[in-house]
Structure 1
Amino acid sequence: MLIRIIFCSLFFFTCAAPPPPSVKGVKIKQVKKEPLKQPRPELSPPTPVALPPTKDSRPDLVQETVYSRGYLTGYDIWEFLREQPAETDVLETFGLPDSIWLDDEERTKFLYYFISEMQDYNIIEISTKTDSVSGFEWD
């Protein structure tokens, strides 16, 4: 029985928190600190993403371009897109796209250009944040 009492007392004393420190017999008052409150950022309403028209939606805007005249080689197209031009420069060079899609997060516009000889689409990705080319797939 004595061993149990010794064991229990050792257990309680070793698990108890130490007393707060004191300086020259004066106890230091412990102040409970509250976590810092971060100001909530003001959320602004989302700005709508402007999509350019397509060939079908605005046939009156379809014009001949450097691309439609056949003046650009595959290498010229690749070099032009690699420089990440602005969306307006892309539309001036290639004309209106056949189709446009916007991703779910509204971060990227996908401009699809149909190539009848290949029966395939080429894609130019435009960042909505910078309004410039962020990627492309051109065959």
Structure 2
Amino acid sequence: MVQETLFSMGYMSEYEIWEFLRDNPAEKDVIDTFGLPDSVWLDDSESTKFLYYFISEMQDYNTIEINTKIDSVSGFEWD
């Protein structure tokens, strides 16, 4: 079942996405906004979780980094 989100319905501009992520939201808020990621990886020290979202229009992945200690965005690469 595909979850409908503000992002999947096209209601967020690139600027709004960048501003949202720049505010370091909690992982739950990221998932509520973008839906479940296509892939998730945890670094060797288990301090950073990487959420990968595939953007079919661009044929590319965007990455959101979650600090596992404080459960919020610590970095991102969103094209």
Considering the TM-score relative to the shorter chain, is it more than 0.5?
yes
2:7 aligns with 67
Q: Tell me, in whole angstroms, the C-alpha distance in 2 between the residues paired with 1:119 and 1:69.
A: 18
2:16 aligns with 76
Q: What secondary structure, in the 3-state scheme, does the structure 2 residue paired with 1:76 have?
A: helix
Query: Relative contact order: is structure 1 or structure 2 higher (C-alpha 8 Å, sep ≥ 6)?
Result: 2
Q: Decide which structure has the larger Cα Rg and report it.
A: 1
Q: Is 1:136 equivalent to 2:76 in the alignment?
A: yes
Q: Is 1:107 equivalent to 2:54 in the alignment?
A: no
Residue-pair matches, total: 79
Q: For residues 64-121 of structure 1, give each alpha carbon's deviation from its aligned partner in whole angstroms, at most 9, with x where no partner exists.
A: 0000000000000000000000000000000000000000000000000000111100
Q: Tell me, in whole angstroms, the C-alpha distance in 1 between the residues paired with 2:57 and 2:32.
A: 22
1:116 aligns with 56
Q: Tell me, in whole angstroms, the C-alpha distance in 1 between the residues paired with 2:3 and 2:63.
A: 20
Unaligned runs of 5+ in 2: none
Going by fraction, where is strand more abundant, 1 or 2?
2
Length-normalised TM-score, structure 1: 0.56
Aligned-residue sequence identity (percent) comes to: 76
Kindly report which structure 2 residues correspond to 1:1-139, keeping only aligned pairs within 5 A, or say none: 60=1, 62-139=2-79
CA RMSD after TM alignment: 0.6
Shift of 1:130: 0.3
Runs of 4+ off more than 4 Å: none
